[in-house]
Amino acid sequence: MNSDIKIAVIGLGYVGLPLARLFATKHAVVGFDINQNRIEELNSGIDSTLEIDSEVLQAVLLNVNPCKGNTSVTHKGLFCSSKLEDIQECNYYIVTVPTPVDKNNRPDLTPLYKSSETVGKVLKKGDVVIYESTVYPGVTEEECVPVLEKISGLQFNVDFFAGYSPERINPGDKEHTVDKILKVTSGSTPEVGQKVNELYLSVITAGTYLAPSIKVAEAAKVIENSQRDINIAFVNELAKIFNLMDIDTHEVLAAAGTKWNFLPFKPGLVGGHCIGVDPYYLAQKAQEIGYHPEIILGGRRLNDSMGEYVASQIVKLMIKRGITVNEAHLLMLGITFKENCPDVRNTKIVDLIQALKDYGVQVTVYDPLANPKEVMREYQIETIAIAPTQKFDALVLGVAHTAFLNMDLGQFRNEKSILYDVKGVLKEGVDGRL
């Protein structure tokens, strides 16, 4: 690899920071984010997303910009900044901003447009812009590149080039880190594809797979999570059927799982920034070209309905136990979208909480990992700072944080209260589970 490589990573969230940190072990890297508080936090060696340990982050942090100055000097390390001038001397720009959906589940490309405008202001001849954000096929070249051309005044595939390498970050997973997950790469020309592939290959120990085109790489990413979404929807439907038959779904799955090629999916609430969102991107593009995706949208509808379904099951258990549902006190354990992770984006626990409130249940939320200010800002839900000592009519394990699994949940129960296990992980004392 050329020692003059200078990388700017745009967006320092769950995807961007681990990638920037990894590249900084071999290259000069500037991590760019418009959130000044985030920049100050990272420069102090703290990552509130808990993806990078403090000592690991501090090992690559620099006090000076390694991408500025004498290009004949080999630099490596990470410099974090919110100033545009700090990325103007970079030659690789990697965009890792989120791609959410709006309230109507339509793809919201605003973060991509704005980050493309930012890169366009500093884009130079010979530069390569690589996108990692999950999109439907065609977004990089049909939506982002025109923005780069307009802002920079440069011509695509003549003056500058593009690549796409879909992120495969699994938040909270300390085993399957970015360097240990095989990386799909692509470029806007065969030559650029090779350059992009070599760049990632310099730090990804698991290896890379060079896709033949950007659109193939984009499509590969969006179906990864759509496939998981559909499979989870299938077992969620099984859970509904087996509950009506008074059969334990988890016992059925354990028995079926003895077959060598059985896929080990479990029922649950499907949220987060990938599985609960990406299928809508593919569905949107399919509808634009005149095809109605029945299975993809069918799976989404079923998974999106699970919060209300789980609430109904909890209420039925409360009624059977003789608990007055209206004004009953319920402790919700967890509000993040997955275990051992502070990320609350698109968490479906919120759907469950709202459905329970519709029944008149008074819900108290406790999650030691979630940021109370972020939860309030995103969902207008108050989370208590410490575990309560009062008794509750019902307890719901919504998220399988290790802290909850090691907790004596009996201390919160009265003589009638029920315990419902959304995740199906508790071994005893459970009155119901999905």
DSSP letters spanning 76-123:
-EEEEE--GGGGTT-SEEEE-----B-TTS-B--HHHHHHHHHHHTT-
**Given 67, 144, 274, 341, which residue is catalytic?**
274
Contacts of 197 (CB under 8 A, 6+ apart): 185, 187, 208, 210
Q: Are 141 and 107 in contact (CB under 8 A)?
A: no
Nearest to 187 by CA among 175, 195, 178: 195
Phi and psi at 394, nearest 5°, equal -150, 145
Q: How far apart are CA 432 and CA 316, in angstroms?
A: 10
Q: How far apart are CA 30 and CA 3, in angstroms?
A: 15
Q: Are 203 and 23 in contact (CB under 8 A)?
A: yes
DSSP letters spanning 217-284:
HHHHHHHHHHHHHHHHHHHHHHHHHHHHTT--HHHHHHHHTTSTT----------TTTTTTHHHHHHH
Q: How far apart are CA 434 and CA 314, in angstroms?
A: 10
Q: Is 274 a catalytic residue?
A: yes
Q: Are 90 and 78 in contact (CB under 8 A)?
A: no
Residue 93: alpha-carbon gap to chain centroid: 21
Q: How far apart are CA 363 and CA 332, in angstroms?
A: 7
Give the relative orientation of helices 306-320 and 294-304 as an angle to the nearest 10 degrees.
40
Residue 327 in tokens:
């004004």
Q: Which residues are catalytic?
A: 274
